[in-house]
Amino acid sequence: MHTAETASPFGLQAARDSRADAIGARPRSTLRGRLVGAADLFAWPLGLSHYLELVNPLWSTHTTWARVVDLIDETADARTLVLRPGRGFGAYRAGQYVPVTVTIDGRRHTRTYSISTAPGRAPGRGGIAITVKHVAGGRVSGHLVRGIRRGAYVELGTPQGEFVLPDAPRPRLLLLTAGSGVTPARAMLQELSARGALADVVHLHWAPRAADVIFARDLASLAAAHPGYRLHVLATCEPPSGVATAGHFSPNLLDARCADWRARDAYACGPRALLEAAEAHWTASGCAQRLRVERFQPVLAPLPADVAGGRACFRRSGVTVETGAGQSLLLAAEAAGLAPAHGCRMGICHTCTVTLRSGRVRDLRDGRVTDEPGARVQICVSAAAGECEVEL
């Protein structure tokens, strides 16, 4: 679950565009585009794609579906999903992530996952794979690791992210990964190996125990096949003693395992502690520009039961305000001089509904808390719960 902090859960889809507008806006420059555009007029207010979807979801272009074609258990709590994306899934580069949307209890949830295979290297034709570790209490990761079956469909967004290989033909790299942070690195290694460019890569990977190493066999066979790929698997807690062994990231450990780290393009992906330690060390050494990091999604702090109010960020207006306890977002926005669309002001008509970007809101009628990015929020009856960012 790695994401750039600015990733939008809906990819390119603007939140308030109507579906009809989105259909009309399709490029018409190619012959195929023109034909589809003409067919869309017959299907109005839907598009041709809505009817193709009935026959085969993978033919749909208004939503990019992917079929789960294989499930591979990597460790006790991590699983690879091999996906067959439908038409409209864009090209990607090794190391990038993709928004994945699943439906749980009738509700859609979107998370971003690094693609764990290099383009063209997933088992099955034209597929991609994501590798998911079950986060304790995680709704989506739990569903993907334990719940989902072969033949199910998930939605994919646009592959994105800057965590990609440099352009050099045979790059000198240092990979720092921990836990499921190994997933984008695995795609990069596959890519380098396929290009015959896996010539000088040092890879430090941390996991609690050897049994927890995702892609352990894959990485080992890459290391065996490519002398220039030096893999160091570091266990942080070897049973039965449970005491720290090789230890977490430290400057000393780095010097010991990779003395020439300053001369390498470094990529770090893993828990916050690793990324912060690496960033601090690279910055202090004056070579911050050689380090790229890929972050885990920020985790919200536990919420006191009765919080209503807090900081509200109205993203489109570029306004951030402190809201009072029990003050609706609509009132807060109006107090800040904004004039959001609204109707009944009592939660009936849904004229004021906007999309939640991040953070949490509380429904003032029943106290229900919503923290799902992309959820719809009626601002006339919702207050910030701690902190929230909405499309307003």
DSSP code string of 98-114: EEEEEEETTEEEEEEEE
Residue 285 near other proteins by CB under 8 A: no
- 63/193 with CB nearer other proteins: 63
How many H helices and E strands in the chain?
9, 17
Other Cβ atoms less than 10 A from the Cβ of 286: the count is 9
Please state the separation of Cα 209 from the chain's center in Å.
26
Q: Are 383 and 364 in contact (CB under 8 A)?
A: yes
Tell whether residue 12 is a contact of other proteins (CB under 8 A).
no
Q: Distance of CA 307 to CAs 225, 311, 321, 361, Å?
A: 56, 12, 16, 10
State which of residues 27, 45, 239, 247 lies at the interface with other proteins (CB under 8 A).
45
**Considering the rule CB under 8 A, would residue 41 count as an interface residue with other proteins?**
yes
- 84, β-bridge pairs: 67
Among 46, 152, 277, 319, indicate the residue that binds other proteins (CB under 8 A): 46
| Residue 376 found at the interface with other proteins (CB under 8 A) | yes
**Amino acid, res. 242:** G
Q: Which is nearer to other proteins, 321 or 380 (CB)?
A: 380
Helix axes 216-225, 182-195, angle to 10 degrees: 30
Q: Rounded to the nearest whole angstrom, what is the least distance from the CB of residue 371 to other proteins in the complex? A: 12
The stretch among 9-17, 68-76, 315-323, 332-340 that binds other proteins (CB under 8 A) is 9-17
Spatial neighbors of 290 by CB under 8 A, at least 6 apart, are 262, 264, 265, 266, 282
Of 30, 156, 8, 175, the residue nearest 83 (C-alpha): 156
107 lies in the binding site for other proteins (CB under 8 A): yes
Q: How far is the CB of 370 from other proteins (least distance, A)?
A: 10
Residue 388, helix vs strand vs coil: strand
Choices 131-139, 170-178, 228-236, 347-355; region in contact with other proteins by CB under 8 A: 347-355
Q: How many CB atoms lie within 10 A of CB 32?
A: 10
Instruction: Verify binding: residue 344, other proteins, rule CB under 8 A.
Output: yes
To other proteins, the closest distance from the beta carbon of 24 in angstroms equals: 9
Residue 35 binds to other proteins (criterion: CB under 8 A): no
Shortest distance (Å) from residue 369 CB to other proteins: 13
Which residues face 233 on adjacent strands?
205
Could you tell me the strand order of the sheet in which 107-114 lies?
Answer: 107-114, 97-104, 153-156, 65-75, 78-85, 128-133
Q: Please give the Cα distance from 14 to 22 (Å, whole number).
A: 9
Q: Give 45 or 166: the residue with its C-beta nearer to other proteins.
A: 45
Q: Pick the piece of the chain touching other proteins (CB under 8 A) from 27-35, 120-128, 220-228, 368-376.
A: 368-376
Residue whose pair of structure tokens reads 């499921």 in the numeric block: 180
Secondary structure of residue 172 in the 3-state scheme: strand
CB of 150 to other proteins, least distance (A): 19
User: What is the C-alpha to C-alpha distance for residues 201 and 18, in angstroms, rounded to an integer?
Assistant: 48
Nearer to other proteins, 107 or 150 (CB): 107
Shortest approach of other proteins to residue 368 CB, angstroms? 8
146 binds other proteins (CB under 8 A): no
How many residues sit close enough to other proteins to count as binding (CB under 8 A)? Answer: 37
Q: Is 16 in the site for other proteins (CB under 8 A)?
A: yes
Residue number, 71 or 375, with CB nearest to other proteins: 375
106: contact with other proteins by CB under 8 A:
yes
- Tell which one of 25, 31, 54, 339 touches other proteins (CB under 8 A): 54
Regarding 105 and contact with other proteins (CB under 8 A), the answer is yes
Piece of 43-51, 69-77, 276-284, 328-336 that binds other proteins (CB under 8 A): 43-51
Is residue 372 at the binding interface for other proteins, with CB under 8 A as the rule?
yes
Smallest separation (angstroms) from other proteins to the CB of 19: 5
Query: What's the Cα-to-Cα distance from 117 to each of 21, 130, 356, rounded to whole Å?
Result: 35, 7, 31
> Interface with other proteins by CB under 8 A: which residues?
10, 13, 16-20, 41-42, 44-46, 50-51, 54, 62-63, 103, 105-109, 343-344, 346, 348-351, 353, 366, 368, 372, 374-376
